Amino acid sequence: MNKPNAPWLKFYGDIPANLTYPEGSMYEAIKYAYDTHMHGNGYKNAAYEFQGKSTSYPEFFEKIDRTAKAFKAIGIGEGDKVTICMPNAPQGIDSFYALNRISAVPAMIHPLSAEGEIKFYVTHSKSKAILVLDMFYEKVLNALKDVEEPVKVIVAHIKDELPFPLNLLYPLTVKDKPAPLPADNENVIDWKDFIAGGKKYASLPNVFPGKDETAVILFSGGTTGTSKGIELTNLNMNALGYEVQAGAGFPMKGLRAFSVMPLFHGFGLGVGIHTVLTAAATCILIPQFTIKTYARDVKKYKPSVIVGVPTLFEALLRSDGFDGVDLSFLTGVFCGGDSLSIELKKKVDAFLKEHNATVQIREGYGTTECVTASCITPKEFFREGSIGIPIPDIYYQIVNPQNDTEVPYGTEGEICICGPTVMKGYLNNAEETAATLRTHADGNVWLHTGDLGTMDEDGFVYYKQRLKRLIIVSGFNVYPSQVENTIDAHPDVLLSCAIGIPDPYKMHKVKAFVVLRPGVEPSDKIKEEILEHCRQNVSKYAMPREIEFRTELPKTLVGKVAYRKLEEEEAAKAKAAEEAKE
């Protein structure tokens, strides 16, 4: 086995390569952090802030208990699943830990998920309830129409968590007003009524889930077009929190993190929320990221730590609100979710220096199957093109994809990961679990990432390319097969191919090439029908932004669609367009 933790001695000094983790639940881990770092020590930092309203740690634990009682009151118990379809808002955070408090399991999904996806997520996880924001609840009700088992729909409102007078002004700023809740549907519950219903429980039992029990389900796209539920344990989540704190290279206690990555994303949930809370630090909850509000929020809240995808940092450079802003309050800036190009890193580092920040942007690498980050650029040092070195207790192997044997340093192979953050498995999918979690000759279970890379003798890892087809849009995974399956369902479509093409803001966007059946002529009507079907079945960020009709698609020697040929054509077109501008 390569010894990837060796660099910690060279680049981090006294930070240990191995850590000790909590034996219990996520809830107990954040309670321990509060009791250890804050309780009785005079620290007053909040657990989270939302639109200027602070929630202290004691208030946070009270809210968790109230929400836990409310879930008990509607019949949620040990092992039951509840889907959380929320942006970064207090009700979502409170519910996430409340479910853990009563040994239930939250399944996190994107609020912009299409109806077909929501139906799949709820049925696949066998959720008994779903928490959703009022502006999305009608979509959820439509998605649940054909679900066999009844599902409680808890409807939350942003205004309920806003400070005065924003709570009064907010409804006036909303363009598309959410419809009133139906009075004749007993399965639809307003958040305030939901919380009130839990008052019949005087107390909660002090029994918590164990470290190896499923703590949360996150979803990733499937290469065959079907999403997979990733089961992450309490140990997975807690180990990530401790490892990232160590990998940060600076004390996180008392810091303020810009929690802009969403709850359904491993990076947003694992690093932006849970890591912060296990350090007794403060999450600054940002429910929706826009370029217009980016500079305003950073100046207003002065976060110590910013975590985000390349898109967020590209927006940093394009925002005109940072002129003359002093960013010396930044302690850490971390990028993950997609590859950070060498040029973008140089530009962001220069931007930070120009604004008095003493830090560099630090790239990380991971996958939802190990929660998120497993590899981080050291605090004071980086190697060009590298995604960093493995964080404590995480081991990397670069193996031959044909036989799983380890390859020499500097040789390209599949990136495999071993450590306490590696998932329990895929929900109700033993076959995919066995294909992804494999026991190697060393006797250890390794997570096969499907990514190709190399490792140098100092343990620095270099990402090369993906073994599997994948498009990344604003840091979110889009599986082309899911888009293609949706398009191919149109009766006039013979076949299709989806690829990612460069986008100045999202880094990539989806373009679909479509071949119609013989005798069918391309038309705007067919294009709109295809797009409408996609709106019903794929997430907003996975929507094709362009559709090009063709009479045929390029093929490989074995008859498969040569998607790389299409990618090359688009790259050539983009290059020609840039040259024409010059």
For residues 506 and 470, what is the distance between their CA atoms, to the nearest angstrom? 15
Predicted confidence at residue 355, as pLDDT, reads: 96
For residues 4 and 26, what is the distance between their CA atoms, to the nearest angstrom? 28
Cα diameter, the chain: 77
Pair 537, 117: CB distance under 8 Å = yes
Dig out the tokens for 168 from the structure: 């009064």
Dig out the tokens for 120 from the structure: 């799949």
Check residues 490 and 154 and name the one with the higher pLDDT: 154
Q: Which amino acid is at 66?
A: R
Q: What is the pLDDT of residues 13-37, one digit of tens each?
A: 566 768 899 999 999 999 999 998 8
pLDDT above 70 for 6: no
For the chain, give the number of residues.
582
Neighbours of 23 (CB within 10 A): 13
Q: What is the pLDDT of residues 248-303, one digit of tens each?
A: 988 887 899 999 999 998 999 999 999 999 999 999 999 988 888 889 999 999 99
Dig out the tokens for 393 from the structure: 């207790």
pLDDT band of 447, cuts 50, 70, 90: very high
Residues 6+ apart with CB under 8 A from 575: none
Low-confidence winner among 161-175, 479-493, 556-570 (lowest mean pLDDT): 161-175
Predicted confidence at residue 234, as pLDDT, reads: 98
Nearest 10 degrees: Cα torsion 303, 308, 312, 314: 100
Predicted confidence at residue 384, as pLDDT, reads: 87
pLDDT band of 484, cuts 50, 70, 90: confident
Predicted confidence at residue 170, as pLDDT, reads: 55
Mean pLDDT of 45-71: 96
pLDDT band of 173, cuts 50, 70, 90: low
Best mean pLDDT range from 317-321, 326-330, 551-555: 326-330
pLDDT band of 240, cuts 50, 70, 90: very high
Predicted confidence at residue 291, as pLDDT, reads: 81
Pair 124, 427: CB distance under 8 Å = yes
Mean pLDDT of 434-456: 94
For residues 548 and 526, what is the distance between their CA atoms, to the nearest angstrom? 12
Predicted confidence at residue 145, as pLDDT, reads: 92
The burial of 111, by beta-carbon neighbours within 10 Å (0-12 exposed, 13-18 middle, 19 or more buried), is given as buried
For residues 530 and 490, what is the distance between their CA atoms, to the nearest angstrom? 7
For residues 366 and 332, what is the distance between their CA atoms, to the nearest angstrom? 18
Predicted confidence at residue 571, as pLDDT, reads: 85
- The two beta strands, 544-549 and 476-478, are unpaired
Residue 179, phi then psi, degrees to nearest 5? -70, 150
For residues 239 and 291, what is the distance between their CA atoms, to the nearest angstrom? 33
DSSP 136-169: GHHHHHHHTTT-SS--EEEEE-GGGGSPTTHHHH
- Average pLDDT, rounded, for the chain: 89
Predicted confidence at residue 223, as pLDDT, reads: 47
Predicted confidence at residue 174, as pLDDT, reads: 61
Q: What is the pLDDT of residues 72-101, one digit of tens each?
A: 999 999 999 999 999 999 999 999 999 999
Q: What is the pLDDT of residues 323-344, one digit of tens each?
A: 999 999 999 999 987 778 788 8
Predicted confidence at residue 1, as pLDDT, reads: 42
Residues 6+ apart with CB under 8 A from 264: 84, 108, 109, 110, 218, 219
Q: What is the pLDDT of residues 90-132, one digit of tens each?
A: 999 999 999 999 999 999 999 988 899 999 999 999 999 999 9
